[in-house]
């Protein structure tokens, strides 16, 4: 066994002020904990151990170096051990791979280029992060298959791109996979993107994910959904990625981004409590072992909306939890609890941004939380101001009006609406509260009724029964049992409509109610328009006139997106009519 | 007297369902009330009266037509009486200038091109808006002096720009004045902008307003602050605007935008209760007259933070209040109260956006609300991602941590942070809650610690004493009684620093504490750096070593901006040193 690096006494009492804080992991949570600890305690010895060559690097920037949007890898190195020593008097030790924890002795052992080192601590912060999942496929260890977790990973891939790689396969269309695919395509490679789930960006609802798929396609990326790699066949010139659906994709490089798992084996071996591999912590980041705290991607987090327990591998929550762990260690009397995770995330794909906050439909269903879902497609700023584009919004609200989750996609203003909705979820706001938000309006920035206000109005209308919705998922039922009333203009109707739909423009509806009544012949009327606005107006007219009516949530825009590739088969289009 | 237009019975009981709703004013609040009323009641007769030629026009777009950014005035006409008739069965009557209200008889009288018309109502909604203030100056009635309140106003000014106007004077540097000045400059005119208050955009704190002034100057606009026009001298070729400071500004056109006042004389004459000319309403928009509601720029509103009562001439609150008045009339049992106004506003000036939400320093002081103010200058997205620019943030928090007000300026991401902070104010969130916000982060959109998170951390540090600030306003005191310790690099220090400051870069501070102690000679140490980040680190080191220390809020960036044009006289610059 290697010699103990030092011999000072450890402090057996957790409540005593520690003299030496050891942090395992020097990126988001770990470095935040270390930096905050120094600001709170000038005299503590603070040691940061990291197995890699670099600490405090910009993990979220790695895909952007691969494609060259971040030209220099140096830009990714936000801090160095030297700069951290100079500014914060931190003792940062890279190439220190912690391989053992002895909680009774209050030591960790790190494997280093110079042999093992055992390091004593008074307080230990575990921020080991997550490691990329590597599915056990034939050929997965081909040197052309790379994950994208470290600066050297990004530099290697960037090197291959610079050296003339032409064909890339990205396995996994989550956030990092999408960024990698976008960047590789922007660098001129032929890119194929493979996703096991039914659609790219699986946490996104299908009706928004299809917008992402369309944008990927527009960027020239070949999207393979609902299939997975079954093997990688290495070759002398290039590899071939074989998919479950039989496709064979030649690849000069393969980016593996099918998920991450907490990197906790060493700590599990030391007896720390975990759930499905993630470290269990209390509200202050304290683990089951005395004197040991944890934060970041390796830790179980509680979902703010559903209460589900799972790791949340996001940089923001990791940074903030690390900071709060330092408070818990150094100011236990006043430290605030680490809040449950709202789980906000966003990705840029070409000219599109797409993201989500709170719970999605699947999570709400899994948690048994009853909810209404609304869709809308307002302009990101006043429609009459140049440059207006649509923000496609999905909002899930509870029966009590509480905002449970929201998703958005569009060319502009998506991040802003997600942030307002994330803030609303954190603040426990309701649909009616969204109506009341005084958001910043001038024509270049928003609208007198901001998309978030409109979402609140729409949801409030649904909750109080002013508006009754039908959804794309109801389409089979509706076609079997109801009259579809399409209140768009004749030209819009002609371009694509549901089979059997009656077209009465909303401006003519009051005068043509008898016609609707005849066509309905006692059936319910299910109204649609392009985005849901005109159908709402028509719905109110119909209800006032005694009809059983409902309005298609998000209109034909949402319906088409929800149907995805099946839309052409379900709609009567001009092309169909021309046959 | 003109004949009564109709003879149906009015409803003496307010709680009865009205059969005829008359709305006075067909723009934001009025048209929202009318449209919502129709969606709630298909059978009511809904009449909208407006004195102008147009209803439902884009009032906030008018400056952008003057400069041509909105090329066609048609784009400003969002709806027409015909389109409103077709979609919503509204009876919209333009050129109907309401000149009398008889609340006992439940009638209004409108002056029309065809004579006076008296119109009966069951429920009356007053949304007359505001009119431009016209100070009683000699020459103010020159035809070259125009306000910018209607589509014809914008068309006229646009016409003059197209016909070769070269010199413009804009009187009043509020939101509309700034937009008009920016647009006229963009159209190639020489523009002078005149503001009575000490700085442009008076509701903005001086330390942000100076960024707006700098941008105006960069756009070639001549900014005259702390002065006002005393006369307009009309001439055959052009007018001359004479300022209080003696300047004489030739003008081919003058835009008058020195403020607005509620347009309520007719209703005051009818006995409606007002406060300083604004109609008093209850939480449901009900006025002192039975059967009469009011909303929009003509109505007194309560400030959500300070409780101050004044009209809030903003499109968003007007639209939403109009909608809620319709609820109050048609669904009195379930109508929600109209919330107090948070008062969020923003303006684009060239490449800069600047805005505010909640209360500013002057409003807080006037209300006697104790508060802390913090300044920060983080990047709008990850600093290592291309295109990073600073968001300059000011945050006012109460002693209890409550967010009281926030302001922001910068090239990008300003509207988003204002909206998150506006939502936080509406939700009653505290500084600590801002720390906990899970905001959407990917490198193109934000940072793992978003500017709003950072603002929360900074404010929480101030509230719990971890950070003690000093402010630009304390400069005289500090120079007289303290050692200024500048912890920037030697090069930064050389470029501009406070006289008498000691320069010890923060990375050298721990080794040079004795030097600081000697220089302080018992005086407090007041630390500064460029933006406040390094000074905070240094402050913590100093406190741990027994110094009386405080850190300059927002660093030299905020100090210079707060000093404005006085900065050069207060700082030692390289230029000074070179003399």
- Best to test chain B binding among A385, A419, A488, A537 (most B CBs inside 10 Å): A419
Contact: B42, A441; criterion CB under 8 Å: no
Q: What is the pLDDT of residue B579?
A: 62
Token couple for B445: 């959109």
Residue pLDDT, tens place only, A419-453: 999 999 999 999 999 999 999 999 999 999 999 99
Using one digit for the tens of pLDDT, what is the confidence trace for B235-247? 999 999 999 999 9
Chain A CB within 8 Å of residue B541 CB: yes
Distance of CA A505 to the CA centre of its chain: 39
| A293, A325 Cβ separation under 8 angstroms | yes
CA-based nearest residue in chain A for residue B456? A320
Superfamily the domain B145-258 falls into: FAD/NAD(P)-binding domain (3.50.50.60)
- pLDDT 10s digits, A465-496: 999 999 999 999 999 999 999 999 999 999 99
Give A537's contacts in chain B (Cβ within 8 Å). 39, 87-88
pLDDT one-digit tens code per residue, B75-113: 999 899 999 999 999 999 999 999 999 999 999 999 999
Tell me: pLDDT of B10 over 50.
Answer: no
A residues 211-270 closer than 8 Å to B (CB): none
Count of CB contacts below 8 A, A vs B?
Answer: 265
Residue B578's pLDDT band (boundaries 50, 70, 90)? low
How much is the pLDDT for B125?
Answer: 98
Q: What is the mean pLDDT of residues B460-489?
A: 98
Q: Is residue B527 predicted with pLDDT exceeding 60?
A: yes
Q: What is the mean pLDDT of residues B378-404?
A: 97
Cβ A453–B316 below 8 Å, yes or no? yes
| Helix, strand counts (H, E) of chain A | 19, 34
Answer yes or no: do A344 and B438 touch at CB < 8 A.
yes
**pLDDT digit string (tens) for A321-367?**
999 999 999 999 999 999 999 999 999 999 999 999 999 999 999 99
Label residue A323 exposed, middle or buried (CB < 10 Å: 0-12, 13-18, 19+). Answer: buried
Residues of A in contact with B533 (CB under 8 A): none
Residues B418, B380 contacting (CB under 8 angstroms): no
Q: Taking 50 as the threshold, does the pLDDT of residue B12 lie above it?
A: no
The pair of three-digit structure tokens given for residue A556, joined into one six-digit string: 């034909």
Does the pLDDT value for residue A536 go beyond 90?
yes
pLDDT in tens, B449-474: 999 999 999 999 999 999 999 999 99
Report the 3 state secondary structure along B75-86.
HHECCCHHHHHH
Q: Which residues, other chains included, contact A458 with Cβ-Cβ below 8 Å and sequence gap of 6+?
A: A374, A376, A395, A467, A532, A536
Considering only residues B357 and B3, tell me which one the structure prediction assigns the higher pLDDT.
B357
Residues 6+ apart with CB under 8 A from A525: A482, A483, A485, A516, A542, A547, A548, A549, A550
Please identify which residue in the block is written with the tokens 């825009």: A557
Q: Could you give the percent of chain A with pLDDT greater than 90?
A: 94
pTM: 0.96
Residue A75: how many other CB atoms lie within 10 Å: 18
- B42, B64, B355 member nearest A541 (Cβ): B42
Are the beta carbons of A316 and B438 separated by less than 8 Å?
A: yes
- DSSP classification of residue B434: H
Q: Do B346 and A440 touch (CB under 8 A)?
A: yes
Residues of B in contact with A91 (CB under 8 A): none
Question: Which of B324, B440, B549 best tests the A interface by mutation, with the highest count of A CBs <10 A?
Answer: B440
B300 — pLDDT class (breaks 50, 70, 90): very high
A329 contacts chain B (CB < 8 A): no
Residue A58 with chain B: CB contacts under 8 Å: 382, 384, 443
CA distance A347 to chain B (A): 6
B20-53+94-131+261-330 CATH pick, 3.50.50.60, 3.40.50.300, 1.20.990.10, 3.40.50.10860: 3.50.50.60
- Pair B453, B500: CB distance under 8 Å: no
Q: Are B534 and B551 in contact (CB under 8 A)?
A: no
pLDDT at A542 over 70: yes
Q: Chain A contacts of B541, Cβ < 8 Å?
A: 42
Average pLDDT over residues B257-271: 97
Least confident range of A10-14, B5-9, B87-91, B180-184 = B5-9
Band of residue A9 on the pLDDT scale cut at 50, 70, 90:
very low
Which pLDDT tens digit goes with each residue over A250-267? 999 999 999 999 999 999
CATH architecture of the domain covering A469-578: 3-Layer(aba) Sandwich (3.40)
pLDDT digits (tens, 9 = 90+) for B188-199: 999 999 999 999
So what's the pLDDT on residue B566? 87
pLDDT of residue B228: 95
In A, minimum Cα distance to B415 occurs at A440
User: What is the nearest CA distance from A268 to chain B, expressed in angstroms?
Assistant: 28
Q: Please state which CATH number belongs to domain A20-53+94-130+261-330.
A: 3.50.50.60
Identify the three-state secondary structure at position B151.
helix
pLDDT recorded at residue A577: 60
- The partner residues of A112 in beta bridges, in order of sequence, read A115
Q: What is the predicted pLDDT for the residue at B39?
A: 96
What are the phi and psi torsion angles at B152 (to 5°)? -60, -35
CA distance B455 to chain A (A): 13
- Domains B20-53+94-131+261-330 and B351-463 are alike in CATH topology: yes
Q: How is domain A351-463 classified at the CATH fold level?
A: FAD/NAD(P)-binding domain (3.50.50)
Across B138-174, b (16+ Cβ under 10 Å) vs e yields ebeebebbbbbbbbebbebbbebbeeebebbbbbbbb
The token pair at B270 is 């009818």
Q: What is the pLDDT of residue A566?
A: 87
Nearest to B191 by CA among B251, B256, B259, B257: B251
pLDDT at A28 over 70: yes
CB contact under 8 A, B422 and A439: yes
**pLDDT tens figures, A269-312:** 999 999 999 999 999 999 999 999 999 999 999 999 999 999 99
Nearest CA in chain B to A439: B419
Element containing residue A361 per DSSP (H, E): helix A361-367
For chain B, give every domain's residue range: 20-53+94-131+261-330, 145-258, 351-463, 469-578
Q: Is A90 on the interface with B (CB under 8 A)?
A: no
Asked if the model's pLDDT at residue A12 lies above 60, the reply is no
Average pLDDT of the residues in A102-127:
97
Q: Which of B69, B87, B343 sits opposite A506 (nearest CB)?
A: B87
Q: Is the pLDDT of residue B3 over 80?
A: no
Query: Residues B66-72: what's their mean pLDDT?
Result: 95
Closest residue by Cα to residue A295 from A334, A231, A258, A341: A341
pLDDT confidence of residue A18: 63
**Closest by CA position to A73, among listed A188, A175, A171, A152:** A152
């Amino acid at each position: 066994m290697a010699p103990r690096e030092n011999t000072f006494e450890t402090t057996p009492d957790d409540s005593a002020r520690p003299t030496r804080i050891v942090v395992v992991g020097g990126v988001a949570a770990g470095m935040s904990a270390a930096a905050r600890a120094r600001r709170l305690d000038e005299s503590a010895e603070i040691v940061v151990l990291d197995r890699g060559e670099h600490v405090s690097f910009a993990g979220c920037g790695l895909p952007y170096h691969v494609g060259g949007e971040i030209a220099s890898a140096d830009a990714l190195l936000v801090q160095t051990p030297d700069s951290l020593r100079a500014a914060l008097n931190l003792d940062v030790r890279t190439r220190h791979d912690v391989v053992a924890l002895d909680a009774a002795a209050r030591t960790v052992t790190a494997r280093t280029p110079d042999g093992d080192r055992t390091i004593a601590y008074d307080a230990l912060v575990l921020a080991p992060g997550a490691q990329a999942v590597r599915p056990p496929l034939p050929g997965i260890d081909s040197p052309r298959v790379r994950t994208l977790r470290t600066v050297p990973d990004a530099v290697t891939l960037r090197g291959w791109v610079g050296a003339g790689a032409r064909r890339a396969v990205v396995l996994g269309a989550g956030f990092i996979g999408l960024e990698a695919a976008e960047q590789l395509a922007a660098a001129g490679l032929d890119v194929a993107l493979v996703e096991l789930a039914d659609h790219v960006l699986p946490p996104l609802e299908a009706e928004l994910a299809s917008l992402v798929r369309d944008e990927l396609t527009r960027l020239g990326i070949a999207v393979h959904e609902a299939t997975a790699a079954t093997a990688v066949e290495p070759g002398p010139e290039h590899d071939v990625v074989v998919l479950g659906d039989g496709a064979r994709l030649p690849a000069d490089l393969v980016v593996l981004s099918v998920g991450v798992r907490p990197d906790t084996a060493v700590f599990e071996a030391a007896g720390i409590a975990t759930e499905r591999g993630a470290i269990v912590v209390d509200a202050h980041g304290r683990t089951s072992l005395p004197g040991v705290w944890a934060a970041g991607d390796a830790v179980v987090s509680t979902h703010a909306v559903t209460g589900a327990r799972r790791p949340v591998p996001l940089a923001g929550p990791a940074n903030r939890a690390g900071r709060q762990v330092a408070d818990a260690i150094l100011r236990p009397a006043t430290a605030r609890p680490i809040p449950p995770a709202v789980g906000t995330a966003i990705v840029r794909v070409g000219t599109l941004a797409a993201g989500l906050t709170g719970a999605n439909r699947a999570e709400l269903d899994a948690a048994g939380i009853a909810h209404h879902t609304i869709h809308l497609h307002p302009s990101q700023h006043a429609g009459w101001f140049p440059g207006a584009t649509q923000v496609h919004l999905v909002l899930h609200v509870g029966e009590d009006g509480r905002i449970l989750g929201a998703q958005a996609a569009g060319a502009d203003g998506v991040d802003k609406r997600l942030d307002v909705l994330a803030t609303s979820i954190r603040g426990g706001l309701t649909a009616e509260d969204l109506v009341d938000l005084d958001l910043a309006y001038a024509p270049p920035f928003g609208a007198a009724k901001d998309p978030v206000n409109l979402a609140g109005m729409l949801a409030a209308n649904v909750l109080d029964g002013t508006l009754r919705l039908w959804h794309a998922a109801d389409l089979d039922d509706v076609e079997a049992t109801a009259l579809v009333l399409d209140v768009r203009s004749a030209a819009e109707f002609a371009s694509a409509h549901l089979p059997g739909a009656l077209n009465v423009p909303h401006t003519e509806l009051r005068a043509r109610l008898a016609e609707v009544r005849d066509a309905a012949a006692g059936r319910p009327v299910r109204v649609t328009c392009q985005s849901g606005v005109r159908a709402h107006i028509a719905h109110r007219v119909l209800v006032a006139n005694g009809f059983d009516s409902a309005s298609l949530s998000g209109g034909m825009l949402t319906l088409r997106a929800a149907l995805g590739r099946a839309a052409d088969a379900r709609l009567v289009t001009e092309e169909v009519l021309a046959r």
